[in-house]
Structure 1
Amino acid sequence: MKNILKSGQAVFDIEVPYKLIETGSSSNEKPLIIYLHGFNQNMEQFEKLVAPMLDLNAYHLFVQGPYPIYDRRRKKKVEDWGRSWYLYDGEQDQFVKSLESASGFLENLIQDILRQITASRVAVFGYSMGGYLAGYFALSRPKLIDELMVVGARIKTEVFEGDERRYDTMNVLALHGTRDKSVKSEPQQKSCEQLSEWGAQVTFKEMDRAHKLDNIYLKKTREWLKSLGYN
């Protein structure tokens, strides 16, 4: 006879790398921009991809997704593996639970960083999988984020339907490729329209691009941030 005496869940800790960079002249106050990479990318790769963003006078926080993607070819060291931000099996409840878990981790890290610097504003930039997380993070914690930038992803506004929160102080930039076969642009456009109704100042732009973080997206993002006073 088999007797199950106890079952449950235990917490397993994993180290998650991050890097804080300051660009421009040292000053008492400047914006903080947080960067969230795409699926199977990592922090170091993403820093190289978004290098043009480092021209902005700001604090730049790069964070790596917590879930490692095993390199089946066995050609990379563990630190070079790609990463994932959340667990998704097609179920909405699981998706939201995992997004919230990642967002809680990010919030704790950002609050710790903010105790060490003086940030005039806080912005989050997310691409693809990182864009999904950036959208959820900003909408679930609107008092923390001033600017939200999403490329090649969808802001899941349906999760927040019926919520009492307003987003009157949030600026949103959503960039999408018309040839993006991974994430269609129409649902993102509808999400942006919903965000506008909730008070956010939203800019939605489509470009003749596929699902890839091209320099044109970074150029448009820098221009948009500069229009808001970033330099």
Structure 2
Amino acid sequence: METSDYPEQDGPNKTKRGTYRVALDVPWRVDGAADDPEAPVVLCLHGQWMEEDFFALLLQKLHDLPFHFVTLRAPYPLKAPNENKIGASWYPYDGDRKRFLHELALTEGFILGGLETVERALGLAPRKRALLGFSQGGYCGSFLALRHPDRFHGLIVSGARVKTEALEDEMRAAAQSGMRALLCHGTRDRSVPLEAAQRSARGMNDAGVATALLEFESGHSIGRNQVRAIGEWLEEWS
């Protein structure tokens, strides 16, 4: 939280502020039909209020493909008051754009560290990587992948928009690296309007990132038809 968010009171008090680091053990899982440690890795980032097992269940039809599907749990636990509902979030969000970009940059470090932990633990040395993010996972995942085209060669975003206005230089660098992208969106999505995904696709293509947009007769969800289309895209991309 920035100092300016809460005005300091007049008086003799001299306020000092800083941050401290918290180490957390956050679960992960890996699925897929790959035996080859050099097979492609697909990093999967779930939406807010989800966790790794639920997201892996939604994507289970992909797990017959010869990839390593690495699914991380987001680091911020959530629990709804007076409800038997738990999940996780990739970042706190209060609507402030500057703080949002700051939180995305922090989350980037968490995710890259988690991926490195998994690959090291399982001895994976993938010849290429893709990132698949849904909803909140799509927001932070697209931010991460486009800023690191040396690590990610493909990007799949479902139910989210890409922050193209904050990533102009990064998109051009990703285009030069040969990154390709797939955006999937429901025509009845009330959380993220379809028009936002359409603008994202135009912005990415204008920057040179080869981007396809697929529209589905659905709401804010990642259903069977989307998963099937994602699988076909991954097979062609690999």
TM-score strictly above 0.5:
yes
- Residue 175 of structure 2 aligns with an amino acid whose one-letter code is Y
CA contact (8 A) 1:156 1:191 kept: yes
Deviations 1:167-213 (A, max 9, x none): 23111000111111110111221221121122211111111111111
SS at match of 2:36: coil
User: Is 1:190 matched with 2:199?
Assistant: yes
Match of 1:155 among 162, 179, 182: 162
CA contact (8 A) 2:39 2:126 kept: yes
CA contact (8 A) 1:123 1:147 kept: yes
Stretches of structure 2 that go unaligned for 5 or more consecutive residues are 1-10
CA contact (8 A) 2:189 2:218 kept: yes
SS at match of 1:224: helix
**Aligned sequence identity (%):** 29
CA contact (8 A) 2:72 2:114 kept: no
Q: Distance in 1 between matches of 2:13 and 2:22?
A: 26
Deviation at 1:133, TM superposition (A): 1.0
Across the two proteins, how many residue pairs are aligned to each other?
224
Question: 1:18-167 counterparts in 2 under 5 A?
Answer: 18-24=28-34, 26-73=35-82, 75=84, 81-115=86-120, 116-162=123-169, 165-167=173-175
- Residue 94 of structure 1 aligns with an amino acid whose one-letter code is R
- Residue 63 of structure 1 aligns with an amino acid whose one-letter code is L
CA contact (8 A) 1:31 1:120 kept: yes
Q: Could you say if the C-alpha distance between residues 34 and 28 of structure 1 is closer, same or farther in structure 2, counting changes exceeding 3 Å?
A: closer
- Residue 38 of structure 2 aligns with an amino acid whose one-letter code is E
CA contact (8 A) 2:168 2:207 kept: no
Deviations 1:122-167 (A, max 9, x none): 0111111111111111111111111100111001111113556342
Q: Distance in 1 between matches of 2:195 and 2:233?
A: 22
Q: Distance in 2 between matches of 1:74 and 1:65?
A: 20
Q: Distance in 1 between matches of 2:37 and 2:27?
A: 26
Q: Could you say if the C-alpha distance between residues 216 and 12 of structure 1 is closer, same or farther in structure 2, counting changes exceeding 3 Å?
A: same
Deviation at 1:3, TM superposition (A): 4.3
Deviation at 1:224, TM superposition (A): 1.0
- Residue 182 of structure 1 aligns with an amino acid whose one-letter code is S
SS at match of 1:33: strand
Q: Could you say if the C-alpha distance between residues 10 and 206 of structure 1 is closer, same or farther in structure 2, counting changes exceeding 3 Å?
A: same
CA RMSD of aligned residues (A): 2.0
CA contact (8 A) 1:87 1:94 kept: no
Deviation at 1:109, TM superposition (A): 2.4
CA contact (8 A) 1:31 1:119 kept: yes
CA contact (8 A) 2:42 2:69 kept: yes
Stretches of structure 1 that go unaligned for 5 or more consecutive residues are none
Deviations 1:10-42 (A, max 9, x none): 222222211233524x22521101110111011
- Residue 21 of structure 2 aligns with an amino acid whose one-letter code is V
User: Is 1:225 matched with 2:230?
Assistant: no
Taking structure 2 as the reference length, what is the TM-score of the superposition? 0.86
- Residue 173 of structure 2 aligns with an amino acid whose one-letter code is R
Deviation at 1:105, TM superposition (A): 1.3
Deviation at 1:7, TM superposition (A): 4.0
Once the two structures are overlaid, the 10-residue window that deviates more, 126-135 or 14-23, is: 14-23
